[in-house]
């Protein structure tokens, strides 16, 4: 099973020009079974025309969380995947999450939770992660993925100077230190950081 998570940046067609075909081409070349997209801004406009376009072009089924922030979260799956549950929720999170549960030949039932954690507050990120862990635990095997707007413990030490004041501030807790608590919470619950260098 191959999964892909991608922050397409403002719907892939707003402030930075229309990158729709580039984004779709990249996703197609990845040949993933499950694709999570962040910042699907505008995907809900005109009766969700843009979301439908992506699903059609990628030949995937999916669900979209309509986020209060406007930066919607989408979770797509290859057609033919034996899904038994799709849920979305946004009212208790800045960007929300989409959840998919499916039967896997290799594993028992698997749950995938796609999210885009709060961009500005480490406190909110921790509370959002606690919700995600609960949602992911509905299956024996689970994946939490997305733009976590956070560093993992394995990413330390962090070069504040190279990052710049704005990014360093967004990644820091109230004490001014880089906050790794959201990812640490997942690690403590038995999740594995697939992005950690070994």
* pLDDT at site 138: 84
* pLDDT at site 174: 84
Show the tokens assigned to 163.
């990052």
Neighbouring CB atoms inside 10 A of 121's CB total 17
* pLDDT at site 198: 54
Note whether residue 194 is domain-resident. no
Long-range contacts of 13-21 (CB under 8 A, 24+ apart): 13/42, 13/50, 14/41, 14/42
Note whether residue 56 is domain-resident. yes
Q: How many domains does the chain have?
A: 1
Query: Could you say which residues of the chain have pLDDT below 50?
Result: none
Note whether residue 193 is domain-resident. no
CB 195 within 8 Å of CB 146: no
CA 86, CA 63: separation in Å to the nearest integer? 7
Give the CATH number of the domain where residue 103 resides. Answer: 3.60.10.10
111-120: pLDDT as tens digits: 999 999 999 9
* pLDDT at site 169: 87
Q: Longest Cα pair distance anywhere in the chain, in angstroms?
A: 48
Note whether residue 196 is domain-resident. no
Burial 14-34 (b: 16+ CB within 10 A, else e): eeeeebbeebbeebeeeebbb
* pLDDT at site 91: 85
- State which H helix or E strand residue 64 sits in: strand 60-65
Note whether residue 195 is domain-resident. no
Q: Which domain holds residue 81?
A: 3-188
Nearest CA to 146 out of 190, 183, 174 is that of 183
Token pair 């608590």 is found at 181
Note whether residue 197 is domain-resident. no
Note whether residue 161 is domain-resident. yes
* pLDDT at site 197: 58
Contacts of 24 (CB under 8 A, 6+ apart): 54, 57, 58
Note whether residue 116 is domain-resident. yes
């Amino acid at each position: 099973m191959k999964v892909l998570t991608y922050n397409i940046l403002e719907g892939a067609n707003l402030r930075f020009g229309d990158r729709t075909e580039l984004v779709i081409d990249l996703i197609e070349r990845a040949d993933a079974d499950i694709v999570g997209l962040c910042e699907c801004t505008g995907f809900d406009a005109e009766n969700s025309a843009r979301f439908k376009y992506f699903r059609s072009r990628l030949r995937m089924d999916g669900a979209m969380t309509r986020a209060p922030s406007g930066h919607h979260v989408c979770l797509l799956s290859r057609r033919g995947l034996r899904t038994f549950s799709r849920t979305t929720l946004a009212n208790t999170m800045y960007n929300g999450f989409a959840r998919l549960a499916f039967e896997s030949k290799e594993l028992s039932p698997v749950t995938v939770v796609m999210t885009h954690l709060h961009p500005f507050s480490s406190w909110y990120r921790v509370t959002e992660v606690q919700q995600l862990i609960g949602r992911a635990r509905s299956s024996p095997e689970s994946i939490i993925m997305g733009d976590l707007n956070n560093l993992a413990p394995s990413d330390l030490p962090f070069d504040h100077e190279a990052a710049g004041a704005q990014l360093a501030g967004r990644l820091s807790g109230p004490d001014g230190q880089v906050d790794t608590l959201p990812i640490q919470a997942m690690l403590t619950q038995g999740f594995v950081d697939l992005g950690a260098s070994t």
